[in-house]
């Protein structure tokens, strides 16, 4: 057996919402014991993280691994090989910022599925664990069509498109309920796929235990998706009381992706972002942030994602979503909860991951300072451990 003792730092117990100085004993990649003082077996490897804080490995539940955060994604025409190489680089960036689990919500040509399988087999090591969705499913000319989306119209075509993703090995289905910011000629508030179309795809996923996520920004499209049985709403820009009540009733998750409009607005046209994207982002950002905090305070289940791969929205920037969440009124511990146990629960891996507890996988992220006290410290990862193995070390 291989034993490792992580010692000298503070530990964030996210379930009980407390921080304490302690030690973590790992046995063959699994957390065996957590406490203020833990006996180390003979021959145990010791990792000293004195002066730093240990969190569960972070999650990013809305990312696009094959997309680089270029100013104008429409202007990029990568080959499959180029997208794959970029994806592997992006996955390293997640590890180097304390992210040990991601959900990819739309990649071209099933590259995400192949990479997931390579990570599972051990062929690719410096990468998070992941769940993936294959191609997003959109209406003809709808949001995402020009980013490798599977265009489909009508109930039968939606059912077939869903079956194609499932046949390829998708864990989730990604369905486009509304227009969006980054597709030319569509508007964020406009409904696209109908309730009936989405229901057909969602039913196919649920038959085999696969969940469905929807890009949903406009209010009508959001409600259509919730009524159709969607598992998670992505972005959720225009949420009214009725939509929130529907989410509470149905147990629907929200992944707000506050980073996406933030960076488009920050860098703007002067840095090469298309005018239409900047215009739409400026139009939605106030409602986007207000909808997130309103839903969170109402008790809607929220997980964390960034929409990394959109303009200037780096795959190394998961921590920025926590910072923005705190800026909207969450406490640092609440933001950490979104990025750990909440996200693990949405993805159905909370029994294995999402908190530091005996019996769970040793996916750990070490940060300088104490993010539970000062959320800015979440931007300074100094070590990442996955399955008990140190994959990144800046100490």
In contact, 137 and 175? CB cutoff 8 Å: yes
For residue 148, pLDDT beyond 90:
no
Using N-to-C axis directions, what is the helix angle for 241-250 and 219-228, rounded to 10°? 20
Q: How far apart (Å, rounded) are the C-alpha atoms in residues 117 and 169?
A: 10
Using N-to-C axis directions, what is the helix angle for 318-327 and 259-267, rounded to 10°? 90
* Average pLDDT, integer, range 186-209: 91
Give the model's pLDDT for residue 180.
Answer: 73
What pLDDT, in 10s, does the model give residues 298-351?
A: 999 999 999 999 999 999 999 999 999 999 999 999 999 999 999 999 999 999
What pLDDT, in 10s, does the model give residues 255-312?
A: 999 999 999 999 999 999 999 889 989 999 999 999 999 999 999 999 999 999 999 9
Task: Count the helix, strand and coil residues of the chain and give each as a percent rounded to the nearest 5.
Answer: 40, 25, 40
Band of pLDDT at residue 375, cut at 50, 70 and 90: very high
In contact, 111 and 165? CB cutoff 8 Å: no
Give the model's pLDDT for residue 234.
Answer: 96
- What 3-state class would DSSP assign to 285? helix
Q: DSSP label at 41?
A: P
Band of pLDDT at residue 216, cut at 50, 70 and 90: confident
What pLDDT, in 10s, does the model give residues 100-120?
A: 999 999 998 999 999 999 999
In contact, 202 and 175? CB cutoff 8 Å: yes
Give the model's pLDDT for residue 218.
Answer: 85
For residue 146, pLDDT beyond 80:
no
Which residues lie across from 254 on neighbouring strands?
A: 233, 302
Tell me the pTM. 0.96
Give the model's pLDDT for residue 182.
Answer: 63
- Chain mean pLDDT for the chain: 95
For residue 75, pLDDT beyond 80:
no
> What domains are there in the chain, each with its CATH number?
3-57+354-393 (2.30.40.10), 58-346 (3.20.20.140)
């Amino acid at each position: 057996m291989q034993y490792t003792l992580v010692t000298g730092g503070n530990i964030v117990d996210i379930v009980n919402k407390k921080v304490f100085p302690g030690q973590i004993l790992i046995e063959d990649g699994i957390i065996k014991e957590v406490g203020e003082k833990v006996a180390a077996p003979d021959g145990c490897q010791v990792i000293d993280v004195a002066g730093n804080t240990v969190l569960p490995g972070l999650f990013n539940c809305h990312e696009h691994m094959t997309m680089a955060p270029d100013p104008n994604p429409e202007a990029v025409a990568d080959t499959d090989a180029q997208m794959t190489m970029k994806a592997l680089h992006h996955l390293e960036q997640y590890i180097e910022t304390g992210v040990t689990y991601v959900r990819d919500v739309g990649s071209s040509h099933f590259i995400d599925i192949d990479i997931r399988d390579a990570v599972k087999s051990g062929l690719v090591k410096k990468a998070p664990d992941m769940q993936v969705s294959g191609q997003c499913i959109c209406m003809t000319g709808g949001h995402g069509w020009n980013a490798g989306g599977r265009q489909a119209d009508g109930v039968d075509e939606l059912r077939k498109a869903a079956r194609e993703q499932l046949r390829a090995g998708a864990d989730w289905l990604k369905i486009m309920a509304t227009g969006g910011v980054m597709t030319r000629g569509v508007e964020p508030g406009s409904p696209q796929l109908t309730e009936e179309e989405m229901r057909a795809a969602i039913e196919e996923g649920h038959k085999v235990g696969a969940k469905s996520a929807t890009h949903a920004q406009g209010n009508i499209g959001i409600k259509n998706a919730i009524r159709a049985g969607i598992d998670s709403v992505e972005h959720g820009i225009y949420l009214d009381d009725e939509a929130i009540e529907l989410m509470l009733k149905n147990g629907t998750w929200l992944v707000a992706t506050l980073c996406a409009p933030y960076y488009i607005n920050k860098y703007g046209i002067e840095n090469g972002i298309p005018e239409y994207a900047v215009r739409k982002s400026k139009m939605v950002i106030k409602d986007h942030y207000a909808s997130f905090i309103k839903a969170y305070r109402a008790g809607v289940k929220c997980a964390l994602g960034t929409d990394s791969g959109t303009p200037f929205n780096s795959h190394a920037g998961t921590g920025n979503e926590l910072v923005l969440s705190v800026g909207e009124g969450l406490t640092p511990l609440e933001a950490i909860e979104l990025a750990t146990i909440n996200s693990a629960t949405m993805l159905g891996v909370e029994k294995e991951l999402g908190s530091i507890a005996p019996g769970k996988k040793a996916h750990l992220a070490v940060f300088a300072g104490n993010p539970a006290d000062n959320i800015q410290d979440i931007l300074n990862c100094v070590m990442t451990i996955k399955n008990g193995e140190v994959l990144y070390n800046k100490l």
